[in-house]
Amino acid sequence: MALVVLLPIIVLNIRLENFEQPEKDFPQVAIVLGAGILGPNTPSKVLQKRLDIAVELYNNKTISKVLVSGDNSAIDYNEPRTMINYLKLQGIPETDIVADYAGIRTIESCWRARNVFGLKKAYLITQRFHLPRALYLCENMGIETIPLKSNDSIWEVTIRGYIREIGATWKAVMEVNSYRGETVGDGNEVDLGQF
C-alpha cells in the first residue's frame, strides 16, 4: 500500500535524477517559485535560498530575466513584491525582474509562465523536495525546463516539504491534463517567449 501511495513521487524523483541538461540553447529566464515571506522585504529562508540561485545566475550572465511567481492573495501578503525587493537589494535591476502575482500554486505558476508570459524555455529554481513535481508540471505545460536545486533550509521545513509532496504530487498528476488557469493578472505581463 505504501508503495502505491508513493509511486508518483518515486517516478518523478527517478526522472529528476536521470535528467540530462541540454548541450545548447540554454534559456535566458529563470522561474523562481514563491515559498513564504516574513515581511515586505524579507523572504522566508526557503525562498531566500531560491532567490540567491537566481542572483548567481544573473551575475554570471547565464540569465537576463527572472520571473518571480507567488501568492498575492491578501493585501498584507505579497510574495512577488517581496521577491522583487530582495532581488533589487542584490543588484538586479527591476527592469530584468518580471512578476507573476497570480502564481498561488505551482501548477498555476507553470501554466501562467507558458500561457500568460509566453515562456518556452526556463531554468526552474526550487528546493530538492519540490523540484520533481515542479519540473513535471512545467514540462507538461509546454516549457522546456532545466531544474536547479537550491539548498534546503532548516531540517523541519525540509521534512514537512517531503511529507507535503505526497499529497501535492498526487493532486498534480490528477489535474495536470485538465488544468486551465486564469490569464488575468495586473496588466503588466511581459512576453518572455523571446528569451
Instruction: Count other C-beta atoms under 10 Å from residue 153's C-beta.
Output: 18
- CA atoms lying within 13 Å on the CB side of residue 99: 22
140 located within any domain: yes
pLDDT beneath 70, residues of the chain = 1-24, 153-156, 182-189, 194-195
According to DSSP, the β-strands at 29-33 and 65-69 are parallel
Q: What is the pLDDT of residue 135?
A: 94
| CA–CA separation, 83 and 25 (whole Å) | 27
Which structural domain, as residue segments, surrounds residue 167? 26-175
Q: What is the pLDDT of residue 175?
A: 87
Q: What is the pLDDT of residue 49?
A: 95
Closest CA to 68 of 96, 42, 39: 96
User: What confidence tens digit (pLDDT) does each residue in 107-148 have?
Assistant: 999 999 999 999 999 999 999 889 999 999 999 999 999 999
1 located within any domain: no
The total number of structural domains in the chain stands at: 1
Block residue for cell numbers 502564481: 103
Q: Write the DSSP symbol of residue 95.
A: G
Q: What is the pLDDT of residue 190?
A: 73
**Cα torsion at 107, 108, 114, 115 (round to 10°)?**
130
188 located within any domain: no
84 located within any domain: yes
186 located within any domain: no
Block residue for cell numbers 537550491: 150
Is 123 exposed, middle or buried, given 0-12, 13-18 or 19+ CB atoms closer than 10 A?
A: buried
Read off the CATH number of the domain in which 167 is found.
3.40.50.620
Q: What is the pLDDT of residue 164?
A: 82
Q: What is the pLDDT of residue 3?
A: 45
